[in-house]
Structure 1
Amino acid sequence: MDRIANRRYTNFFLGRGASYVHFYLIVGALFIAQTSAQAQHSQNTSDSLSNASLIQKSKIDFLENINMSLDLRMSFRTYTLRGGDNDYQGRQFENGFTALGISAKIHEKVHVNFRSRFNKTSEVQSLDQLGNNIELANITIQATPRLQVQLGRQSAYFGGYEYSFKAMEVLRYNDIQSNALAYVTGIGTTFNASQEHSVGFQILNSRTVLYSEKYGEDTAPDVREPDWPVELVGNWRGSFFDGKIQTRYSLSFAQEVKDKWISFITLGHKYENNKLKLMYDFDYSSEEIDTKGLATNIIGGEFIAQEVTYVENWLRAEYKFNPKFTGLLTLMTNTTYGKNIASVSSGRDRLRTSYGWIPTLYYRPFKDIDIRLFVAYIGRYFEYSPLAIRDLGVGSYNENEIRFGFIAPLRIL
């Protein structure tokens, strides 16, 4: 999975996405027709029913169990890239995030969750047979008062607070999260030990496409297809001091190719009071086969890189000045390592360190609806090690971007 949107809007509306649009239009038309018929029947039956509700109580109760949201983020971007082999600038309007989400209680103990992101490709993934634009398609069963079971395509139970935000809320993810596979198919369980603590466990596919499509001929002779590309994820969420301090920790092991594993640790921490939210994540990913692709791009060569490590830090501070204005600052770093790059016995060699800073100001003009206007600066600097510059032919560079736009998580139903 790549959280960065693939902007092939035409494919969506002319391809599989059209079926979803037709579905919603048909459901809406049937609902309107039915309620109109009921209203006409009420008028014809008796004048005493003229003040009756047009929608039967049973249908009102049903609608109360359905949530439908349309999430939007649009902005105007002006950006530059300087250094390395690149030197360009540009300006454009961009629909960075457009998604329709539906959740519903269809039984006393069963919920269904669905979310389609329109600005991602609708091409069906060969392994789990869903379009990449379908981020969520699952049911949640309340097995016991404390135990939930989730089945279908779902969000991996990774820890950290950067990962907990929808992509609508994040103008730029750090390097691991930008390239991590977040929405996959499998089974997950969550046990609420108390109001303050819960633990979760998942068994998932570790990728959404077949081995031949993702790796093809770009692998070394010792890289082979596994019997099952599987990922195991465990997490713990904690809350302390009446929720002022919270934690989201996770540990996962994934196998995309035979006998080569990816170990991923995330430690997320949050402090919150009436006006301030402060979040810090530490991420560590040790990969016997490079699933993020950053080290492979730096090293180059004929095959996908092996024995790479990613270490990240992410900090986000939100301060609410008043009901209309909120300030936000995000800071992040990523360091990428490769094994035995300088020589056959050089150990873990640093390849690149990236830095990012994103100051943002939100303005909320309306009290009763969550529409936020924002202005933000996104600065990224990519510093390559002397080894990478000397032996791999790369050069450091920086990116600078200013955005003006709006964020609107709109609840339709």
Structure 2
Amino acid sequence: MKQSFKYWILVLLPVISFGQKQIQETNPIYQPLIPASKVSLLKDVDVIFNTRMAFDNYFLDGSHTNSLFSMNQLRLEVKGKIHEKIFFRFRNRYTKTAETNTIDNVNRSVDMAYLTFDLDSQTKLSAGKMIGDWGGYELLMNPIEILSYNTINNYNENFLVGASLSYALDDHKNKFNFQLLNSRTKTFQDQYGTTAPPGITATETPLAAVGNWKGSFFEGKLETTYSYSHFIDADNAGRNFISLGNKYKNNKLVLYYDFQYSKEDLDQKCVVTNIIKSKYPYAAEKVSYVENWIRAEYMVRPKLNLLLTLMNDNAYWKGTSNSSENNLMVTTYGIIPTVEYSPFSDINIKFYAGYVAKRNNYSAYAQDNFGVKNGSTGQLSFGIIAPLLIL
């Protein structure tokens, strides 16, 4: 029996070996998706998943309404150099409806998609969809760090298609940026439709011009980002926007203060429009928004950070007559105390607990004429903030 078994082994071994050789010869060696010659490009490219997830508890006028888990932010960002003088940046938001804009033909979920060309060591030219450089640190921060925005940045269209030219002085402590952007992402008809006031018609040039100055003083302890912007929203209807952002950093303390003022011939934020809509079926004209935003960060220990954000906004309307008097419509207050804990020293992941409290105080004029009532909202969150650097 043993001899018979050995016989069959000797007979089949060459056949098996031949078969294995045939299989190896017929299976090609597949090339990697990224050729070896291109791998070197990845050293200058970052892939980041900007995430914030939490267990959120909501309150209305002091009463609990619901509690649930939320993916508050999920933005994929890819950025880096693809050439010695060419930089690109792309960021897509997966927590926003991906409907296509009717002016720039880009999904609203795309925050940024642009190229930057280094013309020389001090001058850069960018083109594509980018963040409006109106100034102010609230908007410049990574969105996963902002639990709630103040009124202007919350309702503004902050990501627009256009071009920018920036110039830095020799010491690189003063930088100047000029942008020419679309003033909105939707056509006049899509945005206003039947709510366009009589006599207000679409413009042939819905554009915005932005001028920004960034400064650095006292060895970087004090930084500024100031801007003036003018928007053409319709024929004979525009917006003028001033934003003054200030940042102070010293040891464990970081302070931010933004002042913003928006004067709008046609209400783009729609806060005033929503107040008067019960009696006036059109978008409000001659409105203005004045707001303040303060944020303090104090690192108690290397892994423990305390934050406090204060915000305020005042919305005004001149009414339907030719009156020159600004009627205060609503004052909004906000406070956001937050505690952050970073357990790891080698990766940027933070556990946080924060409470967003906001209150709308309507003026006597708004209450008497439009029947609005004061109210408050609250949101208590326990979650994770993580800009995950994958590559």
> Quick check: TM above 0.5?
yes
346-355 or 233-242, which deviates more: 346-355
Within-5 A mapping of 1:382-393: 382-393=360-371
Cα distance in 2 between the residues matched to 1:166 and 1:289: 30
Amino acid in structure 1 at the alignment position of 2:346 = D
CA contact (8 A) 1:340 1:346 kept: no
Amino acid in structure 2 at the alignment position of 1:101 = E
**Is 1:117 matched up with 2:114?**
no
Of 253, 278, 283 in structure 2, the residue corresponding to residue 304 of structure 1 is: 283
Seq. identity, %: 38
1:161 deviates by 0.7
| Matched residue SS, 2:124 | strand
Amino acid in structure 1 at the alignment position of 2:131 = S
Q: Give deviations 1:84-138, integer Å, cap 9, x for gaps.
A: xxx7611111111001111131111111111111111111111101111111111
CA contact (8 A) 1:135 1:154 kept: yes
Cα distance in 2 between the residues matched to 1:285 and 1:166: 23
| Matched residue SS, 2:134 | coil
Cα distance in 2 between the residues matched to 1:344 and 1:157: 33
Of 354, 361, 385 in structure 2, the residue corresponding to residue 407 of structure 1 is: 385
Amino acid in structure 2 at the alignment position of 1:350 = L
Partner of 1:260: 237
Partner of 2:26: none
Cα distance in 1 between the residues matched to 2:247 and 2:41: 37
Within-5 A mapping of 1:331-346: 331-340=310-319, 345=323
Q: Give deviations 1:146-201, integer Å, cap 9, x for gaps.
A: 11011010111110111111221100000011001111100011101132100000
Partner of 1:136: 112
Within-5 A mapping of 1:4-403: 34-35=31-32, 56=36, 58-82=37-61, 89-193=65-169, 194-300=171-277, 301-340=280-319, 345=323, 347-403=325-381
* TM-score between the two structures when normalised by the length of structure 1: 0.84
* TM-score between the two structures when normalised by the length of structure 2: 0.89
1:33 deviates by 5.5
CA contact (8 A) 2:57 2:64 kept: no
Amino acid in structure 1 at the alignment position of 2:149 = Y
Amino acid in structure 1 at the alignment position of 2:143 = A
Amino acid in structure 2 at the alignment position of 1:205 = N
| Matched residue SS, 1:163 | helix
Query: How many residue pairs align between the two structures?
Result: 360
Cα 1:275/1:123, change in 2 over 3 Å: same
1:346 deviates by 6.2
Greater Cα radius of gyration, structure 1 or 2 = 2
| Matched residue SS, 2:51 | strand
**Which consecutive residues of structure 1, in runs of 5 or more, have no partner in the other structure?**
1-31, 39-54
Cα distance in 1 between the residues matched to 2:163 and 2:375: 42
| Matched residue SS, 2:138 | coil
1:229 deviates by 0.5
Cα distance in 2 between the residues matched to 1:34 and 1:281: 53
CA contact (8 A) 2:196 2:283 kept: yes
364-373 or 186-195, which deviates more: 186-195
1:345 deviates by 3.1
Cα distance in 1 between the residues matched to 2:129 and 2:39: 29
| Matched residue SS, 1:216 | helix
Amino acid in structure 1 at the alignment position of 2:264 = E
CA contact (8 A) 2:245 2:257 kept: yes
CA contact (8 A) 2:285 2:319 kept: no
Cα 1:126/1:273, change in 2 over 3 Å: same
**Which consecutive residues of structure 2, in runs of 5 or more, have no partner in the other structure?**
1-28
Amino acid in structure 2 at the alignment position of 1:357 = I
1:35 deviates by 4.4
| Matched residue SS, 2:365 | helix
1:406 deviates by 0.3
| Matched residue SS, 2:31 | helix
CA contact (8 A) 1:270 1:277 kept: yes
Q: Give deviations 1:276-327, integer Å, cap 9, x for gaps.
A: 0000010000000000000101111210000001000000000011111000
Cα 1:365/1:351, change in 2 over 3 Å: same
1:360 deviates by 0.2
1:212 deviates by 1.2
Amino acid in structure 2 at the alignment position of 1:253 = H
Q: Give deviations 1:248-287, integer Å, cap 9, x for gaps.
A: 1010000111121100000111110120000001000000
1:344 deviates by 5.2
| Matched residue SS, 1:296 | helix
CA contact (8 A) 2:359 2:377 kept: yes
Cα distance in 2 between the residues matched to 1:82 and 1:409: 33
Q: How big is the alpha-carbon RMSD for the aligned residues of Structure 1 and Structure 2?
A: 1.7
